[in-house]
Each structure stands twice: as C-alpha cells, then as structure tokens.
Amino acid sequence: MTKGSDDKPAGSNDDDKPAAAANRDAANWAKTVSRLKVSQVPEGAMNLNVDGRQLTSPIQGFGKMWQKTYEVRLPGERVAPTELIATWRQHFGEFWPPGNYFYAPLTGIEPGDVALLNMRMPGGSKLSTGVMVLYADEESFTLMTPQGHMFAGWITFSAAQHDGATVVQTQVLMRASDPIFELAMMMGGHGQEDRFWGRTLGNLAAHFGHPGAAVDTKVVCVDKRRQWSRWRNVWHSSAIRSTIYLLDAPVRGARDLAHRQRAGKGRPSSVDR
C-alpha cells in the first residue's frame, strides 16, 4: 500500500505514485502539479469539476479500499503488447460502452495530460469529471482522479507477453470519494463498474479480431475501513455539481438570451449612424 500526505496534493511526490511503476523512467511520469488545468475543451464536452481541482490518491478517499483487476488474453501472434498499448492510447474512449465519453487532448494520452469525462449515470443523468495521465510508456499508462470524482485512486492499463499470449489488464485501486458515492457503490455501483471495464476490454479484444474473448475479473477489498474524517469530500462531489449544473440550464439559457437582447438594444441603428 502506498503512502500519502495530507499536506501535499496527490501526484506531488514519489509517495503518491503506484509502486508497480516506481522504478520506471522518470520522463514517463507527469510533472508535479498542485491543481489541474484544462487547456482544451473539445466541442460537445461538458467541462465541470476539473479545473482547479487537486488530484486524489486512495489515501484521500472515504470508502473501503478496493483493488479490481480485469484481464483478457489475446493470441500473441495477433497483436504485440506495444502495438496494443499504442492503439489503446490513441483511441482510448472509442472502446468505452456507448453513452460515455473520454475527451483527450489533441496530443492523446501523454504524461501530464488532463482529459474530460462525461459519463452516463443510472437514470439517464450525466456526470462531468476528468482524469490526469500520471504515467505512460510503451506497455502501460496510468490515470489518476481529481477531487469530486466517483472514486479517489489510480487506474492502470497494461499489456504483457505471457505463455505465448498478450495479456491485457485494467487494474483499479480506489476508494469511493465521499459517503454518497460509497452508498452508490454499495447499491450497484461496483457491478456497474465491473461491467464497464469488462465491456471495454471486450471491445478492445474485438478490435484485434478476437470477439467474445472472456474477461476475468478479480476483486479484493484491501482495507475494510471507511475514513470518516473524509466525509467533507462530498463538497466536491461531481455528481451533485453536475446535477445542479444541468438543472440550472434553463435559467442560464434565459439569462443569456436576455443579455443578448439587451446588448442588441444598445447598438446604434443604421439611421443613427
């Protein structure tokens, strides 16, 4: 289990980096950041709950700590690990289940990049959040979540050769960010997440000519304790803030229309010129 510090934002020192990648090339790590900054907002993306947020490791989360591993095996002669990871990084969001969107920068998935996520939630509601690329090399890449995300933690995507097969893996180390997200995870959120990554790996396998490949799922509760001192994380909840933003859309639209009408009345007519 990695160590963290309450006095420094996650991602600001080596203690917040996943142990599996601790000895890899430092150039593949994102530079130290105190708060996230979205440099580009693609057309159609909802940009909420990312700018100005700090990163959060599992140490900063509220709920029980889980390690979830999703794995699929592809014939080694069909695709090499480096080829698979290169394709995955370039087309990452295209393998997601329908209705969920990953808006990567034009540079793709590179260390330090910040991507926007617009997710479909139960009941048809939408949630806006994001991730930062903490680490990326030819065989793996790791995303880290900001304050207000559904969970605080890391998601590592990797591929490796083993017994003649290319083993593709998604591994999540996480705690639900706040009490509301923890309750949501208990009431079906864990199953929804398992299906999400299972379908994603299935889509990836199909892309490389192996449709119907079995996805193995392994879930381990690393720490059964809930960190009640973190209940205040609910203040940053992306679910609450996204809902408020969407409910306020008609009011914003009417306000913008009124502003444009007032601006139009203040312009001189052709007769006055």
The pLDDT tens digits for 51-85 are 999 999 999 999 999 999 999 999 999 999 999 99
pLDDT exceeds cutoff 90 at 195: yes
Q: Is residue 195 part of a domain?
A: yes
Domain count for the chain, please give it. Answer: 1
Q: Is residue 2 part of a domain?
A: no
Higher model confidence: residue 27 or residue 203? 203
pLDDT exceeds cutoff 60 at 9: no
Q: What is the pLDDT of residue 18?
A: 60
Q: What is the pLDDT of residue 34?
A: 86
CATH number at residue 21: 3.30.530.20
26 close to 67: Cβ distance less than 8 angstroms: no
CA 264/CA 269 separation, integer angstroms: 10
The pLDDT tens digits for 175-193 are 999 999 999 999 999 999 9
Higher model confidence: residue 196 or residue 22? 196
Q: What is the pLDDT of residue 77?
A: 92
Q: Is residue 3 part of a domain?
A: no
The pLDDT tens digits for 111-123 are 999 999 998 876 6
Q: Is residue 128 part of a domain?
A: yes
**Percent of the chain whose pLDDT exceeds 70:** 81
pLDDT exceeds cutoff 80 at 22: no
Range(s) of the domain holding residue 227: 14-265
Q: Is residue 4 part of a domain?
A: no
